[in-house]
């Protein structure tokens, strides 16, 4: 039997972090997405145990200042795209600059230097991932999804979707529906 799951990435991440930090009896405070403050100094062996424990979930501790800022850029973009409570009425470049306290030019150059990709590409990938989730797990149509993700038009979303995934949003929906029908037939 196949199950289709819908989950909130932020909640899952927070629960994993709580589990790992509590399991190691560390005093901490979750400040924001991807940012935890240790309330007491930890021993080197505790640090290694924490690092190993987090690596099991693909979570790594970022240590360089540039790496930390790039991770903050990624976290801010993910939060901006996936968090329904954040409504961005300004350009994403202005939002990132204001949120992170650096010029967009600096953020963009740093991001490209560290990731070998652009902020714009990362943002497009996140928007397309979210649009796939919405197509799979919500009753929203493509027009509503385009509006929700701040696209200027459905055509713009469709073009970016096809450029990123290789298929159109409607073809993606058809494939998923076909897979669900096949899975349902096998279950019966």
Residue 17 lies in a domain: yes
Name the β-bridge partners of 124: none
Residue 1 pLDDT > 70, yes or no? no
Q: What is the reported pTM?
A: 0.70
Residue 86 pLDDT > 70, yes or no? no
pLDDT value, residue 173: 86
Rounded to whole angstroms, the Cα distance separating 126 from 74 reads 10
Tell me the three state secondary structure of residue 30.
strand
Say how many domains are in the chain: 1
Residue 155 lies in a domain: no
Cα distances (Å, whole numbers) of residue 146 to 8, 18, 24, 59, 150: 20, 34, 43, 31, 6
Residue 87 pLDDT > 90, yes or no? no
Give the mean pLDDT of the chain. 86
Residue 21 lies in a domain: yes
Residue 171 lies in a domain: no
Contact 64, 71 (CB under 8 A): no
Q: pLDDT tens across 112-166, in order?
A: 998 999 999 999 999 999 999 998 888 888 999 998 888 889 999 999 999 999 9
Rounded to whole angstroms, the Cα distance separating 15 from 158 reads 34
Residue 103 lies in a domain: no
Q: How many other CB atoms sit within 10 Å of the CB of residue 62?
A: 14
> What's CA 103's distance to the chain center, in Å?
22
Residue 4 lies in a domain: yes
Domain with 33, as residue range(s), is 1-61
In the chain, the percentage of residues whose pLDDT exceeds 70 is 96
Q: pLDDT tens across 28-49, in order?
A: 888 876 788 888 888 888 888 8
pLDDT value, residue 89: 67
């Amino acid at each position: 039997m196949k199950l289709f799951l819908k989950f909130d990435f932020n909640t899952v991440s927070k629960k994993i972090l709580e589990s790992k930090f509590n399991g190691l009896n560390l005093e901490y405070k979750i400040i924001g997405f991807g940012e935890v403050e240790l309330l007491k100094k930890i021993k080197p062996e505790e640090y290694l145990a924490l690092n190993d424990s987090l690596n099991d979930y693909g979570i790594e501790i970022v240590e360089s200042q540039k790496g930390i800022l790039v991770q903050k850029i990624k976290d801010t973009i993910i939060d901006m795209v996936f968090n329904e409570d954040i409504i961005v009425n300004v350009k994403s470049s202005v939002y990132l600059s204001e949120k992170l306290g650096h010029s967009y030019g600096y953020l963009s150059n740093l991001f490209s230097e560290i990731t070998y990709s652009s902020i714009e590409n990362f943002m497009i990938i996140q928007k397309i991932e979210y649009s796939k989730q919405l197509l799979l797990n919500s009753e929203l149509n493509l027009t509503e999804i385009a509006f929700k993700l701040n696209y200027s038009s459905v055509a713009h979303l469709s073009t970016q979707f096809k450029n990123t995934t290789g298929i159109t949003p409607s073809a993606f929906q058809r494939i998923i529906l076909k897979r669900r029908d096949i899975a349902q037939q096998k279950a019966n």
